[in-house]
Amino acid sequence: MSGQSESGNLSKTWYRKVLKDWEIDRLLTDLEARTQQRYRQNTKKDLLIGLLCGHSLKQISKELHKDNASVRTGLSYIYRDIETLTGEADKRVKASNLVYILEKHGYRRGIAASSTYNRSIPHNLPAPTYTEFIGREADMKTLLERLSPEHGAHMITVHGIGGVGKTALVLAAAYLCLKSSSENQGVAPRFDAIIFTSAKQQELVPDGILQRQQGQRNLREIFREIANALGDSTIIQSPPNDQFERVRQILSRQRSLMIVDNMETIEDRNQVIEFLYNLPICVKVVITTRERIALLPISLQNLPLEDGLQLIQQQAGEKCIAIDDEESKLLYHRTGGIPLAIVYALGQVSSGYSLNSVLEQLASATGDVASFCFEKTVQGIKGQPPHLLLMSLAIFPDSPILAAVAEVAGLTASPDSVNSGLARLQQLSLVNLNSETKRYEMLSLTREYALAELAAYPDFEREARRRWVKWYLDFARSYAGEDWEKWIHYNKIEQEEGNLRAVLYWCKDQDRYTQVRDLWLLLNHYANLYAYWDDRSDWLQWLVEQSERRGEWSSLVKIIIRKTWLLIRECSDQSLKQADEMLRRAWVLRDCADLDLCVQADLAENIARLRIRQKNYPDARKWLDIEQSLVIDANLEEQKHIRHYIPVLYHRAVILYREGNYYEAKKLFQEVMQSAEKIHWHRVINSAQNWLADIAIEQSDRDRAQQLLIKGLTVAQRSKNRRRLARYQRSLARWEKKWGSTQEAHKLATKAMDSFKHLGMTQDAEEMQFLLNLP
């Protein structure tokens, strides 16, 4: 507000005095809303300011250049408006008590509203079903802000799936407004009337789903409820065609909050929306619906874990149920954090059912919770693209991208159907598009129901699963493989990791060996070096057994190479013995397996790697010679030749380092780096740099070692290669122990040891333990 009234007639001194002593802005807003009179740009504003300054009628008339009679009339209107605002009796407000009345109602700065103030606000709000409303702080704040008269919103929607707590949120906000309005205190917006209508047809209670006999399912029933709430029978006594105008007239006299619950089940929805849209601006309308409506929406999702657990404890306490932390978390995850499902489940337990049986029923697509939340909504889209997309989305355990969903649903050739279908699922609150990840998310409870729907259509499921597996095989061919080719694409693999693992498990359960084999051979490198899947050894063992059973000798040798890589990394006596036996057998099988020379070279490399771990360096050099000959004989194009020749140089350098020949090892590792840079093999560059740092430590080149370690550690952290990161931490611990802080050395060595243990690298972990024990 400016330092002078809008009319420009009132002195700045008067206006500043009022701003200092009174909450004039709130008073003007409330007067406009309550009386439907203009105050902000009207002579009434200047008259009111003059009164609040304590000036006489004569002084006000002189200041405004008006005659006494017109000013007296204007002041009389102000007194009547203030009576309307405060609920004071007719003719009660006068110049002599104006300040007292406004102070009593909290409009004077520093003076709270009188505790004796208690205005009766007409309303028909149903009794709350909770003792304390839990969670939704941000949503509640947004809703109250939009209900404020300062906010331009006229109609607000709260949408979400059934049971997510739309009605509970709106009623909690309405009760805050009721308290604020009747007691003239609190932070919630104030209204002169609050009207609640609901078209809800069902209620979910612990005994099951109850059909509601009453409700406002069309415009005439809404008019009747408004009449009952306001105690004004003239609305329903008016002719049907005149009722809308009568409602408008009545509501235009007061600030009202109008709640329309369950809009999706109203019969004449378009007429009702038109009626609500054309209500006076002093009426705030809140709509709850399972369908998204573009009217300033507030979208409710499931409760976050902390709020969900708090609701569980509240409900358990009220129902005298003993439930521990683990059971609470299990219940939260099984209900997907849907408040109604939580309340229903604990109601069932209170009725005598065991928690386990209740949890099983929650997962049932034919149970009460699933039926209440989804059945009617899904019924309306069956046999249409949204239904196919919903069932397809359920196949993905992690949120998928649009291209994957379209492919699995069999709708790739019809992009318009995909876009409109996904939009419809979002409107129905069954699916949510994450604006940051651009992935389609689904609540766990929704997914359980959609999976049951999928099972009801076996022909579609069979084809959808086939397309699902094919899509991820094609995806892996594009982005997986060895890191010298696909390193920059590994972040895409990481984003799809959960879905890729689900494909593997499903194919294994269906005994689809070929798909598991092809997908795992593509993912093996990523799983070992960047993801460290805990079950990767089990997968490889399963593939070894299956390929052997089928007599697929070529596949068996390839899988043995990958299996023994893990065993050699573990480096325990037992794992090295097992690796030795498997590699000997694979070398014998290579002739009948019809292996290409590159695979044979990889096999020879693994044997050399094993011999290095066994400290049998002469035999290791023999196998490196064999590997080198195989690579040369393969007559590869330059890029691939470099890729397969680098390991020969690398392992020769490792042997030289182990033998203490640091000068020759350094030259070979530098050659490895130069070759790796030609094909952008970043992991090997980073690894060779680590070895060069270790050589610098051994040669007491402090600054060079530190430079290499800092640079290499940054790359290892960025690439998320935990094995390489652990090795850099090991080298840094050695550097700190020799030149830096003993405390920092201990800290780094502990981190490296923990990582080696987690990665199953037994010998490396033992070496770090030895370093920690050194004085």
Per-residue pLDDT tens digits for 306-336: 998 998 888 888 888 888 889 899 888 888 8
Model pLDDT for residues 419-444, shown as the tens digit of each residue: 999 999 988 888 889 989 999 998 87
Model pLDDT for residues 479-489, shown as the tens digit of each residue: 988 876 655 56
DSSP state for residue 260 in the 8-state scheme = E
Q: Per-residue pLDDT for 372 more than 80?
A: no
Mean pLDDT of 607-624: 97
Between the alpha carbon of residue 474 and those of residues 97, 478, 480, the distances in Å are 82, 6, 10
Residue-level pLDDT at 92: 77
| 575: in domain | no
Mean pLDDT across the chain: 86
- Structure confidence at residue 3 as a pLDDT band (50, 70, 90): very low
Q: Per-residue pLDDT for 194 more than 60?
A: yes
Mean pLDDT of 465-477: 96
Model pLDDT for residues 699-735, shown as the tens digit of each residue: 999 999 999 999 999 988 887 788 889 999 999 999 9
Check whether residue 320 and residue 290 sit in a common domain: no
Question: For residues 613 and 569, what is the distance between their CA atoms, to the nearest angstrom?
Answer: 9
Residue-level pLDDT at 6: 39
Check whether residue 700 and residue 741 sit in a common domain: yes
* Structural domain ending residue among the three candidates 299, 317, 345: 299
Check whether residue 351 and residue 406 sit in a common domain: no
Check whether residue 313 and residue 425 sit in a common domain: no
Check whether residue 312 and residue 289 sit in a common domain: no
Model pLDDT for residues 112-129, shown as the tens digit of each residue: 665 555 567 889 888 877
DSSP state for residue 11 in the 8-state scheme = -
| 525: in domain | no
Collapsing DSSP to helix, strand or coil, 598 comes out as: helix
Check whether residue 146 and residue 277 sit in a common domain: yes
CATH assignment at residue 720: 1.25.40.10
Model pLDDT for residues 246-257, shown as the tens digit of each residue: 888 888 878 899
Check whether residue 290 and residue 148 sit in a common domain: yes
* Structural domain ending residue among the three candidates 299, 331, 349: 299
Q: Per-residue pLDDT for 446 more than 60?
A: yes
8 A C-beta contact, residue 120 and residue 182: yes
Residue-level pLDDT at 544: 96
Q: Which of 445 and 476 is assigned the larger pLDDT?
A: 476
Question: For residues 285 and 644, what is the distance between their CA atoms, to the nearest angstrom?
Answer: 70
Check whether residue 163 and residue 199 sit in a common domain: yes
| 680: in domain | yes
Question: For residues 704 and 687, what is the distance between their CA atoms, to the nearest angstrom?
Answer: 16
CATH assignment at residue 359: 1.10.8
Collapsing DSSP to helix, strand or coil, 211 comes out as: strand
| 624: in domain | no
DSSP state for residue 151 in the 8-state scheme = S
Structural domain for 346, as ranges: 305-371
- Structure confidence at residue 609 as a pLDDT band (50, 70, 90): very high
8 A C-beta contact, residue 285 and residue 279: yes
Question: For residues 377 and 360, what is the distance between their CA atoms, to the nearest angstrom?
Answer: 23
Check whether residue 74 and residue 201 sit in a common domain: no
- Structure confidence at residue 2 as a pLDDT band (50, 70, 90): very low
Residue-level pLDDT at 633: 96
Model pLDDT for residues 673-699, shown as the tens digit of each residue: 999 999 999 889 999 999 999 999 999
What DSSP string describes 426-441? HHTTS-EE-TTT--EE
Amino acid identity at 54: G
Residue-level pLDDT at 208: 60
Check whether residue 652 and residue 749 sit in a common domain: yes
| 503: in domain | no
Mean pLDDT of 204-229: 74
| 125: in domain | no
Number of domains present in the structure of the chain: 5
Check whether residue 311 and residue 403 sit in a common domain: no
* Structural domain ending residue among the three candidates 354, 371, 388: 371
| 619: in domain | no
Amino acid identity at 237: Q
Mean pLDDT of 150-161: 87
Check whether residue 727 and residue 769 sit in a common domain: yes
Q: Which residues of 495-507 are buried (b: 16+ CB within 10 A; e: fewer)?
A: bbbebbbbbbebb
| 516: in domain | no
CATH assignment at residue 414: 1.10.10.10
- Structure confidence at residue 262 as a pLDDT band (50, 70, 90): confident
